[in-house]
Amino acid sequence: MFETLQALWTHFWNIEHIRLYLTAAWLAYVVGLGIWILLQKREPVATLSWLMGLAALPYIGLLVYVLIGPQRIKRFRLRRSRARVAALTASDKLERSEQVELSRLATATTQLVATSATDVELLIDGHAKYTKLLEDIAQAKSHIHLEYYIYAADEVGLLIRDALIERVRAGVTVRLLVDALGSARSTKKFFKPLTDAGAELAWFHPTHFTRIWKIWQRPWVNLRSHRKIVVIDSRIAYTGGINVTVEEDESRRDDAYRDLHVRLTGKVVLQLQQIFIEDWAYTTDQRDFISEIARTLPELTDGPYAVQAIPSGPDSDWEAIHRVHVGAIHAARERVWLLTPYFVPGEAALMALTSAALAGLDVRLMVPHKSDSKLVTLAARSYFDRLMVAGVKIYEYGPRMLHTKAMLVDDDIALIGTANFDPRSFRLNFEVTLLFNDAVVAGALEKQILGEFPYAPRVRDPGTRNWLTAQLPEAIARLMSPLL
């Protein structure tokens, strides 16, 4: 009996049989995972890349795919209330047909309609934003809602935290939503005085290792909330590129980011409130506070500024911000001026920019001379040759890192928000952008951009750079563009 079992064991672990078992397991892995990926019906190049990568890295590739592979979030029920917000905020202030078409595109992809603002203020750099924000926080009567990608535990974070604590003690409801990855260095201990005072704190897509045991759930490591939203009493709202961090306060650091934020009042505030409400309810599973907010909505009248909030994220297949940017470029008659810290365009955006330049429009791109990511800087420069051949004028802002996310089209269309011009912002992150169909706001943005050009030398003839030290690293970085 023992000899029979030993013979079977030896036969089973024969080297040829081991190879056969491993091959069968690999084929089952490739076929099973391949069918799963194919049924997602994504871009052919992306699908083929994932299939080859997963086949070349058995099991390890599966782990990579689970962590950072294409993911979608379903939260459609939370978006149903947008119809009510649309009814409350609808406003007809659009004049040109191009404005109407852009607004329809934004509405079709977000269910939020063209509305208005009674006041729009562009805030340049962090000090101006933090000063104004602290003033508004001090005047809050009902509630303060904040959502940030980065809320740092530093001097600026402490200043705003303590201002919020004072308002909580005065009876104001404070809800703070921070991204768990972007604000990873800010611990619960830092926020404890705020929560002890009675404020509510939530972390968007926590990345704690405790989730590893929930094997039925894919971790949302790659899907972040990059939004920066503040809503005070449903009357005042802030959004734009500036986080809560000393790195964006030029009064405290000479190398602080160069950035742009917007302060608004009027009906558009309700749209930003709606976006925050959806994110808070999704993160916390709380629903009761939605009716509480609905009961306290103020009576808001139409304002002179035509504006529309455009949210986008992996909970929608439409890539609303991406589509509106491309649509705005195609709608341009005279000029397109784009400022972005991370420039990694997809084919649609690249085609739109080069087509506009080839058609004789004034197309300008301003990016940082050096961003906070060497890889992103290299990837961006890999597109310069093609853009410049088409006639795009490229400028690299040098004194500090340019962090502004804005686009000016002609004399009456402006896009300002949280989204970078790259696949991560267009597809993976939760973002928000404001579409202004207004000559006054566009004029203010034009004035701001014109003030940047003296500090942003124009790029000349990038093709002459050394192929080994410049062009080859840029080409390699470009291969990683979909992940940047």
Active site residue 205: no
> Pick the residue with more confidence: 99 or 395?
395
Active site residue 325: no
Q: Which of 143, 145, 226, 322 is catalytic?
A: 226
Residue 291: how many CA atoms within 13 Å on its side-chain side? 2
Active site residue 208: no
Residue of 140, 82, 137, 132 lying closest to 112 (CA atoms)? 82
Are 238 and 130 in contact by the 8 Å Cβ rule? The answer is no
Q: Which of 125, 179, 279, 410 is catalytic?
A: 410
Name every residue whose Cβ is closer than 8 Å to that of residue 360 and which is 6 or more positions away in sequence. 391
Q: Determine how many CB atoms are found less than 10 A away from the CB of residue 391.
A: 16
Give the end-to-end CA distance of the chain in Å, rounded to a whole number: 61
Give pLDDT tens digits for 288-337: 777 777 777 888 889 999 999 999 999 898 999 999 999 999 999 999 99
Give pLDDT tens digits for 422-476: 999 999 999 999 999 999 999 999 999 999 999 999 998 766 667 676 778 887 8
Are 145 and 137 in contact by the 8 Å Cβ rule? The answer is no
Active site residue 226: yes
Active site residue 288: no
> Pick the residue with more confidence: 82 or 18?
82
On whether the pTM is more than 0.85, the answer is: yes
Q: Which of 129, 143, 145, 228 is catalytic?
A: 228
Measure the CA–CA gap between 163 and 129, rounded to whole angstroms: 15
- Token reading at 266: 């009027």
Name every residue whose Cβ is closer than 8 Å to that of residue 215 and which is 6 or more positions away in sequence. none
Active site residue 330: no
Are 401 and 415 in contact by the 8 Å Cβ rule? The answer is no
Q: Which of 325, 405, 422, 438 is catalytic?
A: 405
Going 191 to 196 to 201 to 205, the CA torsion angle's sign is positive
Superfamily of domain 76-92+119-304: Endonuclease Chain A (3.30.870.10)
Confidence of residue 25 (pLDDT cuts 50, 70, 90): confident
Q: Is the pLDDT score of 8 beyond 60? A: no
Q: Determine how many CB atoms are found less than 10 A away from the CB of residue 241.
A: 29
Q: Which of 125, 136, 233, 259 is catalytic?
A: 233
- In the chain, what are the domain boundaries? 2-68, 76-92+119-304, 320-483
Q: Do domains 76-92+119-304 and 320-483 have the same CATH topology?
A: yes
CATH architecture under which domain 320-483 falls: 2-Layer Sandwich (3.30)
Give pairs for 168-173: CB < 8 Å, separation 24+: 168/194, 168/197, 168/198, 168/199, 169/197, 169/198, 172/140, 172/141, 172/142, 172/143, 172/144, 173/142, 173/143, 173/144, 173/200
pLDDT recorded at residue 416: 98
Q: Which of 403, 412, 422, 438 is catalytic?
A: 403
